[in-house]
């Protein structure tokens, strides 16, 4: 059906071009709001009525007559109707819809994917400082980042995943001092332990585990570092290096359990050690984009749309955190990433304008609006009807590993992707483990497993091969349920493209739930393994194509497509 749609779209483009040169660019189809009105619709007549100074409905009638005379419409279209002020509704012939089944089966895992474009993009996500276990907010970020990468890979982009973290600074100092105290036998609640609302200490049990392994002189390895503990309680720098490596290893375990792998880990400290931060400051100063005021160095960020100028260097000589961010993003541009996406919490909203202002002021050729940002809210976790706020492992929050252990990787990924990133989300642990239709991931996976069981029964009984179904006679697929299912399959590639542009993996979850529902409705009205060989093969081809699209969509989300449940 995709090839059919391309033919019809070209015929529409040519018809519009006859009306006004350049109008062919408005050639587009959408889905009618009411399925009974047709399979495709176009509003081109209403868009062109004003420049042509014609009544939109009369223009639609003229356009209808022109389209009915076009060869692709004669071949694939059953009827064209005019509705309301000039909507053109198009009803396709059954054979036009049936084309999608063969297309899906022929393209298999590549269905919905575009050819390589040669364009490069980076998605930076998670980027948690190594001061504790990953929490559920990091989990939402990991699910979003990985799914957005997968979406863009289906659109032909070369995608690079990067994890950026601070391996120095105040928080790392607190980590080291907390570990040193635990190594000395001091624990939370003891008089010598820092206390109070703003006490510089980490209280989770994991700090005790780090201290014990440090004293045992263990070696820890992560994706980006390795360190062997000296066991010397007085060697605070050794403790710091060991604790960072230990927690990076723990984070790697969390990410492995979640099925996320990064291409690179980038250290904030490297920006200082390499002189990139100082170079950016000199560049901004040389461009006349800074000024001194009250002992601080300021960036004229209001020149680039920020609501106020921002401090770059404080009176004590230290840089504010957005300065290394500017240096970091210049390295992304210099590494050849024409598109960059940052997945961050909504608390980072204030950094967007100042980072973009710094990049423009640096004058290195970076386009406006670089980088893109996807901001997400935190996640509430509910279990047994009550909110869970504390993890023994972390001391103050629910960890990603907790959530995976309570439910599953698939459930956590699907659930965390099932809403727009900037909307509040409550993760219901009990729902995530329920084996019923109220659990969305179970509902979608069950549809896939249900189809696989039908195909397995056919193979076992008759020695059938799915590969042969792509050449099946599809003419028996005439029922309303079969037609609806085929139309939905045909929407998959366009849905993927739109979801990528909008950074909206939640659209994939909505689509998969709709596709699963459409399949279940079809399965309830038509038996698959019937006696008539032609009918059976047609129906098997349809459900096999449905299973393939379910599989492809779940893969974009990083969720498995089980064959048995």
- The DSSP call for residue 158 is E
- The DSSP call for residue 187 is -
- The answer to whether 528 and 446 have CB atoms below 8 angstroms apart is no
- On the question of pLDDT at 394 being above 90, the answer is no
Helix 136-154 / helix 492-501 crossing angle, nearest 10 deg:
120
The mean pLDDT value for 467-490 works out to 95
Work out the pLDDT band at 472, boundaries 50, 70, 90. Answer: very high
Mean per-residue pLDDT of the chain: 94
- The answer to whether 40 and 30 have CB atoms below 8 angstroms apart is yes
Coil vs helix vs strand at 544: helix
The per-residue pLDDT for 524 is 94
The mean pLDDT value for 35-63 works out to 89
Q: Which two tokens stand for residue 275?
A: 């002189």
The per-residue pLDDT for 309 is 94
Residue pLDDT, tens place only, 419-447: 999 999 999 999 999 999 999 999 999 99
Work out the pLDDT band at 390, boundaries 50, 70, 90. Answer: low
- The answer to whether 482 and 526 have CB atoms below 8 angstroms apart is yes
Cite the residue boundaries of each domain of the chain with CATH code 3.30.1360.70.
2-92
Residue 77, CA distances (Å) to 24, 31, 67, 97 in order: 20, 15, 10, 10
**Mean pLDDT lowest for which of 22-31, 410-419, 479-488?**
22-31
Going by DSSP bridges, is the β-strand pair 226-228/310-313 parallel, antiparallel, or unpaired? unpaired
For 56-112, the three-class secondary structure string (H helix, E strand, C coil) is: HHHHHHHHHHHHHCCHHHHHHEEEEEEECCCEEEEEECHHHHHHHHHHHHHHHHHCC
Radius of gyration, alpha carbons of the chain? 29
Indicate the length of the chain as a whole number.
565
Instruction: Give percent of the chain above pLDDT 90.
Output: 85
How far, rounded to the nearest angstrom, does the alpha carbon of residue 22 sit from its chain's CA centroid?
A: 35
Work out the pLDDT band at 226, boundaries 50, 70, 90. Answer: very high
The per-residue pLDDT for 391 is 59
Residue pLDDT, tens place only, 145-199: 999 999 999 999 999 999 999 887 889 999 999 999 999 999 999 999 998 877 8
| Burial (0-12, 13-18, 19+ Cβ within 10 Å), 44 | buried
Contacts of 547 (CB under 8 A, 6+ apart): 448, 451, 452, 455, 561
CATH H-level superfamily of 437-557: Isoleucyl-tRNA Synthetase; Domain 1 (1.10.730.10)
Half-sphere exposure of 540 (CA within 13 A, CB side): 28
What is the DSSP track for 477-514?
Answer: --SHHHHHHHHHHHTHHHHHHHHHHTT-THHHHHHHHH
Tally Cβ neighbours within 10 Å of residue 435: 9
**Mean pLDDT lowest for which of 165-169, 218-222, 287-291, 361-365?**
165-169
Q: Maximum Cα–Cα distance for the chain, whole Å?
A: 89
- On the question of pLDDT at 387 being above 80, the answer is yes
Alpha carbons 135 and 378: distance in angstroms, whole number = 10
Cite the residue boundaries of each domain of the chain with CATH code 1.10.730.10.
437-557
Alpha carbons 96 and 77: distance in angstroms, whole number = 8
Work out the pLDDT band at 395, boundaries 50, 70, 90. Answer: low
Tally Cβ neighbours within 10 Å of residue 37: 16
Residue pLDDT, tens place only, 302-352: 999 888 999 999 999 999 989 999 999 999 999 999 999 999 999 888 899
Coil vs helix vs strand at 22: coil
Alpha carbons 147 and 341: distance in angstroms, whole number = 12
Q: 2-92 maps to which CATH number?
A: 3.30.1360.70
- The DSSP call for residue 197 is T
The per-residue pLDDT for 264 is 95
The per-residue pLDDT for 392 is 55
Work out the pLDDT band at 292, boundaries 50, 70, 90. Answer: very high
Alpha carbons 284 and 382: distance in angstroms, whole number = 48
The per-residue pLDDT for 336 is 96
């Amino acid at each position: 059906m995709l090839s059919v749609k391309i033919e019809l779209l070209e015929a529409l483009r040519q018809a519009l071009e006859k009306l006004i040169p350049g109008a062919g660019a408005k050639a587009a189809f959408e889905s009618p709001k009411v399925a009974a009105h047709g399979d495709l619709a176009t509003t081109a007549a209403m868009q062109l009525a004003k420049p042509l100074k014609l009544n939109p409905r009369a223009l639609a009638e003229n356009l209808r007559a022109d389209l009915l005379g076009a060869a692709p419409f004669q071949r694939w279209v059953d009827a064209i109707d005019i509705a309301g002020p000039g909507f053109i509704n198009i009803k396709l012939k059954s054979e036009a819809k049936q084309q999608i089944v063969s297309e899906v089966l022929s393209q298999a895992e590549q269905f919905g994917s575009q050819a390589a474009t040669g364009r490069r993009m980076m998605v930076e996500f998670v980027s948690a400082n190594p001061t504790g276990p990953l929490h559920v907010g990091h989990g939402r970020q990991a699910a979003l980042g990985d799914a957005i990468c997968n979406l863009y890979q289906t659109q032909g982009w070369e995608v690079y995943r990067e994890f950026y973290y601070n391996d120095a600074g105040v928080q790392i100092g607190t980590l080291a001092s907390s570990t040193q105290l635990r190594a000395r036998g001091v624990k939370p609640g003891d008089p010598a332990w820092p206390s109070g609302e703003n006490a510089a200490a980490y209280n989770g049990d994991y700090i005790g585990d780090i201290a014990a392994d440090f004293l045992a002189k263990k070696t820890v390895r992560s994706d980006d570092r390795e360190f062997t503990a000296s066991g010397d309680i007085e060697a605070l720098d050794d403790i710091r290096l060991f604790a960072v490596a230990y927690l990076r290893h723990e984070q790697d375990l969390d990410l492995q359990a979640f099925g996320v792998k990064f291409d690179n880990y980038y250290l904030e400290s490297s920006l200082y050690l390499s002189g990139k931060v100082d170079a950016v400051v000199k560049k901004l100063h040389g461009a006349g984009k800074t000024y001194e005021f009250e002992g601080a160095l300021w960036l004229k960020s209001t020149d680039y749309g920020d609501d106020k100028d921002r401090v770059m260097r404080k009176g004590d000589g230290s840089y504010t955190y957005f300065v290394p961010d500017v240096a970091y993003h210049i390295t992304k541009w210099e590494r050849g990433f024409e598109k960059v996406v940052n997945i961050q919490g909504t608390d980072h909203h204030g950094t967007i304008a100042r980072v973009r202002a710094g990049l423009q002021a640096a004058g290195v050729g970076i386009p406006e609006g670089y980088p893109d940002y996807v901001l997400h809210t935190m996640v509430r976790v509910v279990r047994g009807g009550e909110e869970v706020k504390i993890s023994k492992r972390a001391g103050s929050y629910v960890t990603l590993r907790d959530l995976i252990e309570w439910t599953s990787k698939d459930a956590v990924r699907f659930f965390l992707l099932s809403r727009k990133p900037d909307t509040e989300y409550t993760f219901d642990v009990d729902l995530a483990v329920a084996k019923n239709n109220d659990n969305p991931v179970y509902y979608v996976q069950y549809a896939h497993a249900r189809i696989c069981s039908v195909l397995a029964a056919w193979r076992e009984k008759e020695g059938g091969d799915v590969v042969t179904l792509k050449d099946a006679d599809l003419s028996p697929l005439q029922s309303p349920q079969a037609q609806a299912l085929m139309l939905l399959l045909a929407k998959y590639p366009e849905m993927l493209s739109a979801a990528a542009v909008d950074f909206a993996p939640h659209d994939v979850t909505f689509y998969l739930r709709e596709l699963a529902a459409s399949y279940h409705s079809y399965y309830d009205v038509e038996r698959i393994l019937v006696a008539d060989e032609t009918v059976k093969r047609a129906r098997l081809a349809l459900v096999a194509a449905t299973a393939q699209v379910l599989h492809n969509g779940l893969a974009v989300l990083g969720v498995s497509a089980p064959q048995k449940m």
